[in-house]
Each structure stands twice: as structure tokens, then as C-alpha cells.
Amino acid sequence: MKSISRKAFLSNTCKAACILAGGSAFLTLLEGCAPFKVYSTKTQDGILSVPLAEFATEKSRIVRDNNLDSDIFLSKTETGYIALKMKCTHQDWLLTATGSGFACSSHGSTFATDGKVTNGPATEPLKQLKTIVTNTTIQIYLNQ
């Protein structure tokens, strides 16, 4: 067994503690910088419903039902609402929200918040889902 001096042990332990502390602070910082708030809900009869009140002060939400295969990005535009599946159109990997859109960690495709491809290899825009606005909610139709 290789011996290690007390000085080297303390030095290595301090370095590891600093890395762990820095990593934890970095994760906290990342959570605080999440570009879009998440609205969690449950699908009922193939429809996700999001209260209009969610858009009183914000223009977008990531809509999440943990039973679905991907999140949905819902945003308010000048003409209504658009709902986009957050799944890469290249090879179906899940996308990560960035400050300006979405990124795929598989092969590097990126998409704008309107679903258009901003960097390949993907060539098709994100799948858009039908939305209907009622008096109190935005309904997202998963199967149409």
C-alpha cells in the first residue's frame, strides 16, 4: 500500500472539498437561471390544460406531465399560443431549454422558440401541437 504524507492528504482533501462546494454552488446557480418556468399537470383524454393565469406575467412555460415522453414548450405569440414537443426531429432525443431556444445534446441540433431549426443536423422544425384557448385555459391536444 502506498503511503501519503499528512500534508499531501490535507491538500488533496481541501481540493476535493472545494470542487464539491463549487459544483453545488454551480448547480444552485443553474437552477436559478432556468430559462423557462415549468408547469406540471396531468393529461386528461389526450389534452393538457394550462390555466391562462400562468401567462399573466410570462410569455412561455414548459408544460410537464411525467407520464409523457417529452415536455411541451407553450408560448404566447402575437396571434395566439404555440405548443411544441421538446423532442429533437433528428433522432428523437429530448431537448434542453437554453436562453434562446432548445439544444439537443446528441448531435448538436438547436431550435428557436418558434420551433425552427437554427443548427443541424436536424432539418425539420419541432412538432407543433394543436391548441385551443377557452375562457380559463389553454388546451394542448397531444394526438392531433
Give the footprint of ligand FES on this chain (CB under 6 A): 88, 90-91, 93, 104, 106-109, 121-122
Q: SS3 of 105, please?
A: coil
Distance in Å, CB of 88 to ligand FES, minimum: 3
Residues 6 or more apart in contact with residue 4 via CB below 8 angstroms? 12
**Closer Cβ to ligand FES, 75 or 109, answer by number:** 109
The answer to whether the beta carbons of residues 98 and 86 sit under 8 Å apart is no
Distance in Å, CB of 102 to ligand FES, minimum: 10
Distance in Å, CB of 114 to ligand FES, minimum: 18
The sheet with strand 101-104 has its strands ordered as 95-97, 101-104, 110-112, 117-119
Strand partners, 64: 40
**Closer Cβ to ligand FES, 96 or 128, answer by number:** 96
**Closer Cβ to ligand FES, 89 or 131, answer by number:** 89
**Closer Cβ to ligand FES, 103 or 142, answer by number:** 103
Nearest 5°: the CA angle 62, 68, 72 is 25
Distance in Å, CB of 133 to ligand FES, minimum: 31
